[in-house]
Chain A
Amino acid sequence: MDDALRYVIEDLSAPLLHGAAASLQLIVCSVPFGLMLGFAVAVGWVYGNRAVSALCKAYVLLVKGTPLLILLFVIYFCLPSLGLTLSPFAASVTGFIMCNGAYNSEYIRGAILSVRSGQLIAARSLGMGRFQAIVSIVLPQAARRALPGCSNEVIYLIKYSSLAYILSFIELTGAGKMAATRSFRFTLVFSVVGLVYLTMVTLASLFFMWLEKKLAIPGFETTRD
Chain B
Amino acid sequence: MGDTILRVQGLSKRFDSEEVLRGVSFEVKKGDAKVFIGPSGTGKSTLLRCLNRLVEPDSGQVWLGDDEITHASDIDGVRRRMGMVFQNFYLFDHLTALGNVEIGLVKVLKMPRHDARGFAMSELARVGMDRFADKYPAELSGGQAQRVSIARSLAMNPEIMLFDEPTSALDPELTGEVLEVMKRLASGGMTMLVVSHEMEFVYSVASEVLFMEGGVIVERGTPGQIREDDASDTGAPKQFQRTRAFLRRLDG
Contacts and interface: CB of A to CB of B under 8 A. Distances in A.
Contacts of A225: 88
A140 B96 CA distance: 13
Contact of B54 (A121, A140, A217, A218): A121
Contacts of A57: none
Contacts of A140: 94
A122 B79 CA distance: 11
Contact of B80 (A121, A127, A141): A127
B218 interface: no
B52 A125 contact: yes
Given A118-B86, A136-B103, A128 B94 contact: no
Interface centre among A121, A122, A128, A218 (most CB of B within 10 A): A122
B139 A128 contact: no
A119 B86 CA distance: 11
Contacts of A49: none
A127 B90 contact: no
Interface of A is mostly: helix
Contacts of B92: 119, 122-123, 137, 141
Interface string B145-166: 0000100110010000000000
Contact of A218 (B84, B139, B153, B156): B139
Interface residues of B, number: 27
Looking at chain A, what size class is its interface with the partner chain? 20 to 34
Nearest to B92: A137
A132 B79 CA distance: 14
A199 B224 CA distance: 77
Given A125-B54, A219-B136, A220-B136, A118 B156 contact: no
A128 B136 contact: no
Contacts of A217: 93-94, 136, 138
A216 to B, nearest CB: 10
B114 interface: no
Contacts of B91: 122
B54 A126 contact: no
Contacts of B137: 219, 223
A64 interface: no
Interface in B21-76: 52, 54, 76
B104 A127 contact: yes
B81 to A, nearest CB: 8
Interface of A: 116, 118-119, 121-129, 132, 136-137, 140-141, 144, 217-220, 222-223, 225
